[in-house]
Amino acid sequence: MTDIHMPRLSDTMEEGVIAAWRKQVGDQVSRGDVVADIETDKAIMELEAYDDGVLEKILVAEGETVPIGTPIAVLGDGSGVSSEPEPAPSAPSEQSAEDTAEQSAPRTNGVPAPTEAPVAQPQQDAGAPPKPKASPLAKAVARELGVNLADVQGTGPGGRIIRADVEAAAEQQQAAQPAAPQPAQPAPAAAQPARGTEDVEEVPLSRIRKVTAKRLTESKQQAPHFYLTSAIDVTELVEFRATLNERLLAAGGPKVSINDLVVKAVATALRANPSLNVSFAEDKLLQHKRIHLGVAVALEDGLVVPVIRDADRKSVSEIAAEAKEKAVRAREGKLRPDEMSGSTFSISNLGMFGIEEFSAVINPPEAGILAVGAVKDEVQVREGEFVARKIMRVTLSADHRAVDGAVGAAFLQQLTGLLEDPLRIIA
């Protein structure tokens, strides 16, 4: 028999969630078959089998979280097929005082009593209805709201129960039950948010949100950030983009966004200022010879940063096509781990939300990130006259352990020159 383990599917992954089992106990499995979907800290990835055989046991149920390296299933020749799920090895859960007392009691003849599963799950009878399928978040919300998933009609893919289904069922339950009279209580000493009431909802952190919180907290605590802001006149850039898109559409190519032009300009500026394309590594700096740009993409439950490799060697249209394709797959949770790692510098753009300027947190181990704001019409004085110009503000966040202020200023000066004279971007 061969154990299938929870794999490490990204460089920051420490544990994973079984999002769905593609194969069931007794199914024939061939090398390369997808046996399960694994929710990592960055996306939902497909787990492929490395051997041929029969799936004999599933050790971790859908929705459960286990550390990397934990056995999650058993592959064999079919002789050991078991229809009963077995609990996966996991960290011990919190127990009540009674449970602790029972475990510490003397054992008969020195032989420990059989260990019971943390939660008793009765074996399903042949005539019993199948266990409803639900997303991990839906299960967590159901536990919070006291909703029985067996009473919920799923509206997700394949009838899968999603969070909205659980919340709708909870509202129906509340509407069907009359409000119980509440005894008078003394006024509280201090106003505190009540848990478990309709005014407060506890939402479990997604895998992406957990890792984002951890890494960016470490970044702010360990990397001394400094910030430099430039107001760039992008009037010619906006006109250049419009002309370029007309020609690209006529040739059947992809449209180019302002952000695509910024990405190309940043890559060009980094090539001219390699001192910013570095990483701090305690007693040394890592000078990156290639320019791989991470472009932040906002998701409903967190943030991912797809990487455009060798951005300085690609045309603007190539960058546009790649950025759009990876952004779509990022929102679908279909990016591969290697497509979200290895960046040497990052770009975050909130201009589409009308944000004029902001400061971004450095994505470690990089030494800098550029925050891009919206393009706004502003009145400026040119040759003694008031003129309307389109202005875009960008803010560089840099790690002062690796980069000095003058280096950051030189980079922004180079970037400003490129964006104000856009023909140089494609030259």
Does residue 193 have a cis peptide bond before it, meaning omega lies within 30 degrees of 0? Answer: no
Answer yes or no: 400 catalytic. Answer: yes
Q: How far apart are CA 365 and CA 324, in angstroms?
A: 25
Contact call for residues 219 and 359 (beta carbons, < 8 A): no
User: Of the residues 5, 288, 292, 400, which is catalytic?
Assistant: 400
Residues in the chain: 427
Q: How far apart are CA 224 and CA 212, in angstroms?
A: 18
Please say whether the dihedral angle defined by the alpha carbons of residues 307, 313, 316 and 322, taken in this order, is positive or negative.
negative
Q: What angle do CA 173, 174, 179 make, to 5 degrees?
A: 135
For the chain, the first-to-last Cα distance in angstroms comes to: 60
- Given strand 44-48, what is the order of strands in its sheet? 44-48, 34-39, 15-21, 65-67
Which residue type, as a one-letter code, is found at position 89? P
With tokens 């009359």, the residue in question is: 178
Which residue type, as a one-letter code, is found at position 130? P
* DSSP state string for 298-340: EETTEEE--EETTGGGS-HHHHHHHHHHHHHHHHTT---GGGG
Q: How far apart are CA 392 and CA 233, in angstroms?
A: 6
Q: Which residues are catalytic?
A: 400
